Amino acid sequence: MDKGKIEFYVGLFVGIGLLSTGLLFAVLGEIRLLPDNRYSVHAFFTSVSGLKTGARVEMAGVEIGTVARISIDAERLMAKVEFSIDEHIELSEDVIASVKTSGIIGQKYINFSPGGSDILLEPGEEIYNTESSLDIESLVRKMIFDRDNK
């Protein structure tokens, strides 16, 4: 084989390797190469302890979106959570957003329980019915100290 063919095949091999590595990083890092069609809604919670940006949003055990942003609302002094929901999912105005935990010590996620209203949420609107996360530490602390007081 002449030197030119060897250099071509080495370059082709390196190029395919770099492309494969980039694709692997994109898939594992959940990087979206194409814009997906989603809309945004938000809700206010008294506590979202342990919830992270990028967490799953589920309905009936099926992922329908992600947590886009978590911030504190200075006016209400509550946690404001913005969700990015798949465009083909229609949420009624009385949907319930709950902070849940996967397993006993798993990651936090949001679960939507469907409502019965015929009025649908528009992009940017607020979900009014929310349930905050259960704080296991405070429950254990309360149980231990209540036992000592008896």
Joined together, the tokens standing for residue 15 give 């190029």
pLDDT per position as a tens digit, 102-131 = 877 778 999 999 888 888 889 999 999 998
Average pLDDT of span 26-47? 79
How far apart are alpha carbons 103 and 97 in whole angstroms?
18
**Model pTM?**
0.69
Q: What is the percent of the chain where pLDDT is above 70?
A: 89
Are 97 and 129 a contacting pair, CB within 8 Å?
Answer: yes
Cα 150 to Cα 144: distance, rounded to the nearest angstrom: 11
Compute the distance between CA of residue 147 and CA of residue 133 in angstroms, rounded to an integer. 24
Scanning the structure block, which residue is given the tokens 């913005």?
82
Cα separation, 129 vs 91, in Å, equals: 12
Higher pLDDT, 1 or 85: 85
Q: Rounded to 10 degrees, what is the CA torsion of 102, 105, 106, 111?
A: 40
- At residue 18 the predicted structure's pLDDT band, cuts being 50, 70 and 90, is very high
* Domain residue spans of the chain: 1-34, 38-135
- pLDDT of 5 strictly over 90: no
User: Which single residue is written with the structure tokens 């709950």?
Assistant: 98
For the record, the structure tokens of 24 come out as 């692997």
How confident is the model at residue 28, as a pLDDT?
74
The Cα 41–Cα 18 span in angstroms is: 38
